[in-house]
Amino acid sequence: MRVVRLPGIHHDASCVVASGDSETVIIDPGTSWYQANVVERIESKLENLPKVSKILLTHRHYDTAGASQYLSKHWDASVHIHSDGVGAISGGDLFTTWASRFNSDMPPVAASAFEEGDVFDLGEETIEVIHTPGHTSDSCSFWIENEAILLVGDLIPKRGHISRWDFPTGCLPDLVESIEYLLEMEIEQLVPGHGETIVGAAPVLAELEQQQQVLSEILDNKGVRPDGWPRPHPICNWFTPEPPWAE
C-alpha cells in the first residue's frame, strides 16, 4: 500500500492518494477552486500505480468534497460518501455542505452510499469505513489496518485543535463518542483533515486523550467553549485552544 498526503491549498482539506496492487483511490479532493491544480498534483504521484477508480469522502463539506465532480469526470471515477451525505453531494446543497459560506456553489455529483464497516479492496490492501459523526452526521474515518493508518477527516482537523460541532448536522455528544471510539484502536499514524500526520502510537494516543478530555469538559459546560478561546471564522473547521496545548 502506498499512501501519500498532499497538503491542502488555501482552504482545501488535505488530499490523500492511496494505492494498492489493483486500484488507486483519492480521499477528500478539496474545493472546486483549485481542482485543476489538484489533478496535476495527484498525477505527479501516480507513475507506475493503478488508475484512479474511486473518490472517497470523509464528509460533505465544500472544502473537502467540492472538487469531486471535476475529478470524477477526469478519471471516470465513482464518488462515495456515507449515506447521510449522499443527498447533499448529489443535489449540490449549499447549506449543509457550507459552500454558501465560501461564496461558492457546490458542484453536484452522483454519489454512492457507504456504511459503517464497508470495505474497499485495493488489491492485497483494504480501506475500512468507520462512522465517526460529530463534525457532521455523515463524517467517517478510513482505516488502513495493515499499515495502522487512520484518516479522520475533520473529526480531528489538525493537531492541537478541536473540531467544530456547530455546523449544520454537527453534534457535540457524537463528537465525544467518536473520539472515545478511536481511543480503543491501535493507531500508528493519524491523518487529520487539514494538519500534518501524527506519527507514532504514543503521540496519537496523547492527542486523542487531550481531545477527549477537553471535549468532555465542553460537553459538561453545555457546549460553551472555554473562556479565552478565539471565535473562529465562519468557514474555519476548528476551534483553537488558548493557550495552545503543549506537544
| CATH number of the domain to which 87 belongs | 3.60.15.10
Residue 13 located in a structural domain: yes
Residue 68 located in a structural domain: yes
> pTM to 2 decimals?
0.97
Q: How far is CA 65 from CA 61, 112, 129, 153, in A?
A: 6, 14, 17, 11
Residue 244 located in a structural domain: no
User: What angle (nearest 5°) sits at the alpha carbon of residue 190, between those of residues 137 and 149?
Assistant: 100
16 backbone φψ class: left, alpha, beta (φ>0; ψ -120 to 50): beta
Range of the domain at 12: 2-239
139 backbone φψ class: left, alpha, beta (φ>0; ψ -120 to 50): beta
Residue 30 located in a structural domain: yes
Q: How far is CA 150 from CA 9, 18, 178, in A?
A: 22, 12, 13
pLDDT digits (tens, 9 = 90+) for 29-82: 999 999 999 999 999 999 999 999 999 999 999 999 999 999 999 999 999 999
Residue 245 located in a structural domain: no
Residue 109 located in a structural domain: yes
Domain count along the chain = 1
Residue 200 located in a structural domain: yes
Residue 90 located in a structural domain: yes
Q: Quick check: 90 pLDDT over 80?
A: yes
pLDDT digits (tens, 9 = 90+) for 97-132: 999 999 999 999 999 999 999 999 999 899 999 999
